[in-house]
A and B are shown apart, each in its own frame.
Chain A
């Protein structure tokens, strides 16, 4: 029985590997041919004014079969040459200068043209191509995890070998995985022009959902949901004895697929704004940006409802829910970032740093990001109501647009994506949620000072083994509280419930009780097992 299961598992590994190999390998292949119409559309839509660039680039690329790399480099080279040419003119026409920035030009200028220029096998065989990438990876992934139902033995905590395996103990496999994750995020955020072939794999699905061809964000969304689904199956098997984990995993997967992926695409199909109803400011940092506000309030009643809902969500729903249930209702039941962390990230949860030092870093960093997000939003609202254009200098040579761009780059892309997810196999699965997420910081304040939520410690039963601290993805030293018999109330706790699950002595319970303040963490000496004569002690202290 177990041998057959192992065979299935090994075939699964091979299929998954092939899927990923095709996916990643396709970056280095494929041909792109820019048609004259596509070229003209592109020039017009990007508002390019330099005749020098328009003419020379046309000669260089139109109606020629090229690779994505050659095409992209040609456009950059032409733009540079054009800028040099313009700057040599006696009177420089600044409208004809093409601004080149490494983190913007590829995604904003080059990507749409490359996407439109795709030809050949990948375009003609989208269904087969989908099967060879997503199909193989998903089927393979399921074949890897489902045999665990038998292989792991009777239901229970089976963290066997986690710190002895290269993939989950910062070994070579972990570093290779991190390299691939980081590379993917860098390409996705800054150079989508090189991942057009992977995007083509989901073109058909995008068209059938919203009617539009797939963007890099559709690829990301679809991939996100697939990965979460496969790893949710892993969670369902691993924690089949633990109903809290089963329900939580099911719910967070539902919110990702229904609210973050399907519903927004369906809205677009009905000519409504793309909107994720569960994405609350300040995690959704662009909610109050002028283009978003204008886009929503110009979209009729539904758009206005979305705008009001977004405000209600942040101002009322989030804090009230945190008061009743702790921030877990969001972070590990609803949130997309949390959803990925709790599925794909689960094998890496033990890698979070538990030192006191890292707790200090955490508090400084996450509250700084919250302050940054708040200030940026206040500035945005100020210029919105004062009707100042966002590109106009506000102070010290900085415009609000600059502030927004900086936040989007540093926090939105680098911190939450490249570091937050890319470094799962090195730093653990909740780096973003612990150190960076401004919404988590906001909810953390409510949870810490006024909430019914706490992790109750079961009297004196703790044996200081350290499983709870080791498997806390948020780097909370749970044991340091449990061994004192003190309940745990920490702003960073996302209530994943794994400390309670891995405890061999039944010491920890996530619960919501009637006392909501500091009394949640009062230690009762009596439950530590020592019968102290309290009256006598009082007398002595007098």
Chain B
């Protein structure tokens, strides 16, 4: 029986703990200074908006941890000593470990803006951030959000839901266009404005101005415009939350450097989730993946390794999802903002301007590479299968009805999508009827 200590009670750390418990009798301790129990970070916005209470974001009831013999310690880790194998906590106690898993997630980026630590200025990452935003939103007459990514648009939605006027500064020429191709990005721009959010593209932050009480009272943009506001959201991305490891012997880059087995440079110390950095990105992936799903996968992988089944982190085909105000987004495989040289694209947008699909394929081999879908839900399992089986874009389009995941009675667009493709490519593809047999079939091993 080993003594496993996990720093961080987010999705990565908790997944690791659960799987270690499933596979072994090891002693498991999770340390977190943020909250008593695991909660879903992605749901913080819904607490603010009143869709849920904090307890609803906790996926397990409070008795779960004791029943599964997972000890919870509420403290922040101040130091890790890999020689004596101890971690020091901010409550002046130490914990010994045999195996240590670092799963401390991210922290919001701050780029040294003047006034970035004023009252009323906050990122939107932790429970503490949410509490701060809740407090300063009470008398907020205008909010400014700085940084146009997934967290930025969530924060804009949150504040707008309370009828607070929101100005949204986005440095790029169009929302999230480092990731989204033009069509999708433009659709989101329009939708943001439809929600009466004042979207300012190609605009950055210069400084935040304080009032006499040390609270933000205005910001100045890089174009010299001053905007009066008493709440500022800093959502210009996140980076690994690893400051407490600066003095340790563990090799650090932007994150904690790990190999494919998620082992750090020091034996018996592992890093998973947002804070882990691969020496080289796996496939087309980035070396640091700050995504819910990858945190989950890494947690499961490290559990196998710790329980005597050394395993590589082998994420399957890329997928992700998000919701931009009222428009849902899913992606399977890769669709880059700019097509690569060998890539062909096919884009269809619904006339209401709130639904679209964007296919990416290899122009030469016709191999399907990936897809973005907005406003239409699609079946993960089918795309995973098609990507594994290296199907052609034509095959995917013909069988698109198999992948429709919208609720019953929704308007279906597969035929319309295919017609547009036929027109553009001089093809005569015919939409195949939905087949349960194909849906339930496992991927053919190639």
Contact = CB atoms under 8 A, between A and B. Distances in A.
B328 to A, nearest CB: 5
A243 B161 CA distance: 24
Contacts of A513: 436, 439-440
B46 interface: yes
B253 interface: no
Contacts of A529: 293-294, 296-297, 315-316, 319
Contact of B61 (A355, A456, A483, A504): A355
A480 interface: yes
Given A160-B161, A510-B408, A461 B314 contact: no
A160 B437 CA distance: 41
Interface stretch (B52-60, B88-96, B363-371): B52-60
A501 interface: yes
Interface in A475-529: 479-480, 483, 497, 500-502, 504-506, 509-511, 513-515, 524, 526-529
B326 A163 contact: no
B52 A156 contact: no
B383 to A, nearest CB: 9
Contacts of B53: 163
A510 B328 contact: no
B49 interface: yes
B56 to A, nearest CB: 5
Interface string B41-73: 011001001111100111101000000000000
B76 interface: no
Interface in B280-339: 292-294, 296-297, 300-301, 309, 314-316, 319, 321-323, 325-326, 328, 330
Contacts of A247: 409
A67 B409 CA distance: 55
Nearest to B58: A466
Interface stretch (B109-117, B180-188, B373-381): B373-381
A470 B58 CA distance: 11
A464 B11 contact: yes
A159 interface: yes
Contacts of B294: 529
Which residue of A161, A470, A529 has the most chain B CB atoms within 10 A of its CB atom? A529
Contacts of A459: 319, 379-381, 384
Contacts of A528: 296-297, 300
A243 B407 contact: yes
A465 B407 contact: no
Contacts of B319: 459-461, 529
A504 B294 CA distance: 18
Contact of B323 (A154, A469, A501, A504): A504
B46 A467 contact: yes
Interface in A352-388: 355-356
B40 interface: yes
B46 to A, nearest CB: 7
A463 B41 CA distance: 9
A501 B50 CA distance: 17
Which residue of B46, B161, B195, B328 has the most chain A CB atoms within 10 A of its CB atom? B46
B244 interface: no
Interface in A269-298: none
Nearest to B380: A459
Which residue of A154, A356, A540 has the most chain B CB atoms within 10 A of its CB atom? A154
B195 A526 contact: no
Contacts of B301: 530
Contact of B325 (A156, A514, A526, A531): A156
A159 B50 CA distance: 7
Nearest to A168: B50
Contacts of A156: 325-326
A157 interface: yes
B247 interface: no
Contacts of A242: 407
A157 B50 CA distance: 12
Contact of A467 (B52, B161, B443): B52
Contacts of B437: 514
A385 to B, nearest CB: 45
B281 to A, nearest CB: 16
Given A157-B326, A466-B59, A470-B56, A509 B407 contact: yes
A244 B407 contact: yes
A505 B52 contact: no
Contacts of A207: none
Interface string B420-446: 000000000000000011011011000
B442 A524 contact: yes
B411 interface: yes
A531 B42 contact: no
B328 A506 contact: yes
A465 to B, nearest CB: 4
A165 interface: yes
A244 B409 contact: yes
A465 B380 contact: no
A242 B437 CA distance: 27
Contacts of A470: 51-52, 56
A162 interface: yes
A356 B67 CA distance: 13
A164 interface: yes
Contacts of A210: none
A500 B436 contact: no
Contacts of A506: 321, 328, 330, 377-378, 405
A399 interface: no
Nearest to A502: B51
A155 B325 CA distance: 10
B379 A458 contact: yes
B326 A155 contact: yes
B40 A463 contact: yes
A458 B436 contact: no
Nearest to A511: B408
Given A163-B51, A515-B440, A531 B410 contact: no
B212 interface: no
A514 to B, nearest CB: 5
Nearest to B43: A465
A241 to B, nearest CB: 7
Contacts of B50: 159-165
Contacts of B341: none
B355 to A, nearest CB: 11
A153 interface: yes
Contacts of B328: 504-506
Contacts of A163: 50-53
Contact of A160 (B49, B381, B409, B439): B49
Given A241-B326, A529-B297, A466 B407 contact: no
B194 interface: yes
A467 B436 contact: no
11 contacts: A159-B49, A165-B50, A244-B410, A463-B292, A483-B59, A505-B322, A505-B328, A513-B439, A529-B296, A530-B301, A533-B314
Interface of B: 11, 40, 42-43, 46, 49-53, 56-59, 61, 161-162, 191, 194-195, 292-294, 296-297, 300-301, 309, 314-316, 319, 321-323, 325-326, 328, 330, 377-381, 384, 405-411, 436-437, 439-440, 442-443
A-B residue pairs, 5 tightest by C-beta: A459-B380, A156-B326, A506-B377, A465-B43, A531-B316
Given A159-B50, A466-B46, 19 more contacts: A154-B195, A160-B50, A162-B50, A163-B53, A165-B50, A241-B326, A244-B407, A459-B384, A461-B321, A464-B11, A497-B407, A505-B328, A510-B408, A526-B316, A526-B443, A529-B293, A529-B294, A530-B315, A540-B309
Interface of A: 153-157, 159-165, 241-244, 247, 355-356, 456, 458-461, 463-467, 469-470, 479-480, 483, 497, 500-502, 504-506, 509-511, 513-515, 524, 526-533, 540
